[in-house]
Amino acid sequence: MVRGPRDAFQRDRDRVIHSIAFRRLRHKTQVFVAPDGDHYRVRLTHSIEVAQIGRGIARALGLNEDLTEALCLAHDIGHPPFGHAGEDALKAAMFEHGGFDHNGHTLRTLARLECPYPLFDGLNLTWETLEGLAKHNGPVRHPGWALSDIDREIPLDLGSHASLEAQIAAVADDIAYDNHDIDDGLRAGLLSIDQLMEQPFVAANFRAVEQRFPTAPRDRLLRELVRDQIGVMVNDVIASTQANVAEAGVANVGEVRAAGRTLGGFSPELARTERDLKRFMYANLYHHPSQLAAAAGAKQVIGRLFEAYAAEPRLMGEDWSARLPGEECATARHIGDYIAGMTDRFAIDRYADIFGREEVPEALAHV
């Protein structure tokens, strides 16, 4: 049955949007664990913002917008609860069974675990979408067990570069979180404008905003700053990618994959500036004491949940415990799948059910 006049990449995008895994992103950490305020980003809103930026760049470069959008929307589907803290905890808990990484789990979720169709597992996405998700950050020299499992069934040519659409999805991710995390950090009071002015890139853009709008309130200037910086980065990516493509002389996607280097991305100068901005964000936002306390609490929740389910799988509920593989390594990975699919709130509630609400780490007790 044909459901509307869509091509393969439009179907990929729509299947991602309609998936349960995508909906769960609305309660998964972007920067702040289960934030109190409704205005902070979560994985879902971040993914939508990445897709908006990626689609705009793809259109300017004449790339396939639907493939780019599908990659942007799906790129974080494999994240467990509590963001990178949750990933670190799952990686440690599963160390003896191959570990965990969110990118491999994205592929595993989309090709194995999300099963809405009668005759096959996964979402039946195109090779190009799966390849782009696997390699959007570049060739994969040492794939983990989850990605290797998919690659055995659907060879993804992991040693080559991905399409330009995938490369643009990766840099759109950088642009989105570099700038929107500034917005959220300011809103939370963990960043100040004085701190930001220590970054030459930010300071130059803010001075330009002040000159254009000398009487505007400070909060509006800061939001204009974020928009301006996104525009500067987007324009740089478009110009740099066009120059790289021309220099490499590539004429089709096969030649892009064989180019031996990333063609879609920042110019060398802005790449250095963006790395400096990232270092600033790690020092002042991601590693802020309140954030580190939340991360420690998140690791405790994930680690103890894994131990509890390993000792008594029935705690996962009838559906998941009934499908236990039996073999130790496969069972550990099954437990990892269950935990990785949780939202922040669901993980904290299950922890409270098992250990008591009073045992929830203080940094997460607001949830």
User: Given this model, what pLDDT does residue 35 score?
Assistant: 65
User: Given this model, what pLDDT does residue 40 score?
Assistant: 85
- Is there a contact between 73 and 132 (Cβ–Cβ < 8 Å)? no
Instruction: Out of 89-98, 184-193, 198-207, pick the least confident.
Output: 184-193
User: Given this model, what pLDDT does residue 141 score?
Assistant: 95
User: Given this model, what pLDDT does residue 298 score?
Assistant: 96
User: Given this model, what pLDDT does residue 30 score?
Assistant: 85
Residue 310 pLDDT more than 70? Answer: yes
pLDDT > 90 in the chain, percent: 91
pLDDT band at 309 (very low <50, low <70, confident <90, very high): very high
- Plot region of 94 (φ>0 → left; ψ -120 to 50 → alpha; else → beta): alpha
> Average pLDDT in the 26-48 region?
85
Q: What pTM, to 2 d.p., does this model score?
A: 0.95
Q: From CA 101, how far away is CA 283, in angstroms rounded?
A: 23
pLDDT band at 326 (very low <50, low <70, confident <90, very high): confident
Q: What torsion do the CA atoms of 123, 124, 127, 129 make, to the nearest 10 degrees?
A: -30
Q: From CA 121, how far away is CA 118, in angstroms rounded?
A: 8
Grouping H, G, I as helix, E, B as strand and the rest as coil, residue 263 is: coil
Spatial neighbors of 334 by CB under 8 A, at least 6 apart, are: 320, 323, 324, 325
CA 238-239-244 angle, to 5 degrees, is: 100
| Pure H helices in 94-217 | 102-108, 127-135, 145-153, 164-188, 193-196, 200-212
Domains belonging to the chain, first-starting first, are 8-367 (1.10.3210.10)
The average confidence (pLDDT) of the chain is 95
User: Given this model, what pLDDT does residue 36 score?
Assistant: 67
State the burial class of residue 195 (Cβ atoms within 10 Å of its Cβ: 0-12, 13-18, 19+): middle
> Average pLDDT in the 306-316 region?
97
Q: From CA 258, how far away is CA 243, in angstroms rounded?
A: 17
Which two three-digit tokens encode residue 349? 């509630």
Residue 2 pLDDT more than 80? Answer: no
User: Given this model, what pLDDT does residue 38 score?
Assistant: 79
Q: From CA 240, how far away is CA 257, in angstroms rounded?
A: 18
Among residues 293, 280, 82, the alpha carbon closest in space to that of 191 is found at: 280
- Plot region of 31 (φ>0 → left; ψ -120 to 50 → alpha; else → beta): alpha
- What's the pLDDT tens digit per position in 178-202? 999 999 999 889 999 899 999 999 9
pLDDT band at 4 (very low <50, low <70, confident <90, very high): confident
Grouping H, G, I as helix, E, B as strand and the rest as coil, residue 128 is: helix
> Average pLDDT in the 36-44 region?
84
Cα 242 off chain centre by: 26
Most confident range, picked from 64-73, 113-122, 192-201: 64-73
Per-residue b/e over 98-135, b at no fewer than 16 CB within 10 Å?
A: bbbbbbbbbbbbbbbbbeeeeeeebbebeebbbbbbbb
User: Given this model, what pLDDT does residue 29 score?
Assistant: 86
Helix axes 43-61, 218-248, angle to 10 degrees: 50
Q: From CA 131, how far away is CA 179, in angstroms rounded?
A: 27
